[in-house]
Amino acid sequence: MLVNNAGVMPNGPFLDLAEETTRLMVEVNLMGVVTGMRLALPGMVERRRGHVVNVASLAGKVPLQGLAVYNATRFAVVGLTAATRLEMAPHGVSVTAVLPSAVDTALASGLDMRPLPKVSPDQVAAAVESSVTSRTGEISVPRYVGVLAGAARVTPAPVRDALRRVVRDDRALRTDSAERAAYHARIEDEAR
C-alpha cells in the first residue's frame, strides 16, 4: 500500500502568487503524487495486488477564490487518481482519492473556510484506513461534503454564484492572521 499525503496551500489572489511558490505547489502537490505512484505501482502490478491512496482535497472538486493554483494541483490529483484507477484495475491494484475539506493542521492555519468544516487528521486517517477494505474510488471527509460538491456541479451557475456570495466563499482572499503569515513565510522560504 502507498499513501501519498503531502501538500502545501499558500492562499491569496492568483496574480499575486510568486512563480517560485506556484512551482513549489505543483512539485509537492502533484509531482509528489506522480513520483510516489511511479515508484510503487510497478511492484504492485508485478504482484497483481496493491492499493494506492492519494490524499487530495475537496478543493480538487470545488474551486475556491484565493486558492487557484492549489485548486489546480488538487483537480489534477483527482484526475490522475481516476485515470490510473482505470488502468490499474485489470492488474488487481486499486487507487483511491481521499478528499478532505480543510484539515486542521498548519496547511489551513489561520483560514476560515466556512461553510466547509475543518476536519481532524484522525478523520482523514480513518478515511484512508476505510479505503483499504472498501477500495472506493473517492472518499470525501466528511462524507456529506462530497454530496454537496456533486450537487454544486449540477446547480445552475446563477444560483451557485448567489450561494457563493451568501456564504462569502472569498475568505481565502482575505486573511491577515499571524498564523497564516507564519505559514506563508515558511512556504516562501521553502520555495526559494
Q: Which domains does the chain have, with CATH numbers?
A: 2-191 (3.40.50.720)
Q: What is the pLDDT of residue 22?
A: 95
Catalogue the active-site residues: 70
Q: How long is the chain?
A: 192
Residue with cell 511511479: 38
What are the angstrom distances between the C-alpha of 30 and each of 122, 162, 184, 186?
A: 23, 32, 19, 20
What are the angstrom distances between the C-alpha of 12 and each of 53, 69, 109?
A: 28, 10, 14
Q: What is the pLDDT of residue 2?
A: 98
pLDDT along the chain (192 residues), means of 10: 94 92 96 98 98 96 90 97 98 98 79 77 96 94 72 68 65 70 82 80
Instruction: Look up the pTM and report it.
Output: 0.84
Residues facing residue 100 across a β-bridge: 141
For the beta sheet containing 93-100, the strands, ordered from the edge strand earlier in sequence to the opposite edge, are: 2-4, 50-55, 93-100, 138-141
